[in-house]
Every structure is written in C-alpha cells, then in structure tokens.
Amino acid sequence: MKKVKSKVYSKKIRSAVFISGRGTNFKSLVDFSKKKYSPINIKLLITDNKKAKGIIFAKKNNIKFKYFNYKNSHRSETKILKLLKKNNINFIMLAGFMKILSEKFIKKFNKKIVNIHPSLLPKYKGLNTHQKVLKNKDKFSGCTVHFVSKKLDSGKIILQKRVKVFRKDNKLKLQKRILKIENKIYPLAIKKIFS
C-alpha cells in the first residue's frame, strides 16, 4: 500500500456518513477528520436504523444525525437530499449502509459518493461476501473503497487491501480481520481522492 503524502487543509470538505449498524468505519472516519491533514469535516450522520451504535458516537462528537425509516425509499431519498443541501454537504461516505442509493439520488447529489465493500471487487458484489469467499476456498479476501455508480459495487476502485484467508477461518473471524483493515484503508482512500 502506497503512503499518501500528507498536506494540511485549511478549508475542509463538508461531509456526511451513511451507516446502518455498528459504525466502526464511521468512528475511524471521524477520528481521521479531526487530524489537520484530513481533507474532510464530518457534519452529518444518516442512518436507516434508529438503534445504530454509530448514533452514540455521533452524539459524543456533536455530529448531527438523522434517522430515515426507508419504508418508502423514494420519499426517504428526497428528504435526505434536502437535508444534505441544507447542511451544504459536498461529499458522502457510505460505511455499512445497507440500502442501495437510486440512480436518481446519485445524479441529483451530483458530487462524490464513496463506499467501502468487504471483498476484493469486482469479486463478490452485494451481500454475504465472507460466506462466498469461504465457500469458494479463496486464499485471499479483503476490502475495497470505490466510487458509487448506478451499478451496484461497480464504481471506479480507489484503494484495495488483501487479507489472507486461513484454514480455520469462519465467517465471523474473517469478518473481524477484514473490518480492522477497512478501518485503516478508508481514511487512506479519502486522502488519496483529495490529494
């Protein structure tokens, strides 16, 4: 993995993070955003899960958060776009957000959206990546940070990191090991985008 040269940002990009669960990548992005060489300033957390653990971390860090129930995805996306506009958000990071953004949303936002995926794309798009890796007896798995496009998990790759798969691995062991790497490479990918 190449080291990305650090530069100090006087004006940071107003950003939002979308999550559905634990929010470990959200936490790592918030920690990263506080550093002077980080290009982002996280102003908003969006979630489709009112019990998402990431909300607790948002509260601790005085980051605005908003829950959307997604019963009607079109209505939710319309409300989200209004909220992003109101908060002058120019960059979105998806971090374990379990809803697929529509093509209409991606076009209307019209700025950079990135996602982190727990496989070595283009392998194993979508869900259940760890089960697929173990079922196919792959020697390596990993994670990928990529731009979001209208096709699921198909946008341009920004950064990838391989993780060795061991014989004794089960879904949980592999997931934990990959998640640790996700937390490290997501900030590196953000630096790469804006360097």
List active site positions. 117
> Cα(53)–Cα(43) distance, rounded to whole angstroms?
17
**Helix (H/G/I), strand (E/B), else coil: 56:** helix
User: What type of residue sits at position 147?
Assistant: F
- Measured between alpha carbons, how far is residue 1 from residues 6, 22, 25, 114, 157 in Å? 15, 26, 19, 19, 14
Give the pairing type, strands 112-117 and 140-147.
antiparallel
Q: With the CA atoms of 24, 187, 153 and 53 taken in that order, what torsion angle do they form, in degrees rounded to the nearest 10?
A: 20
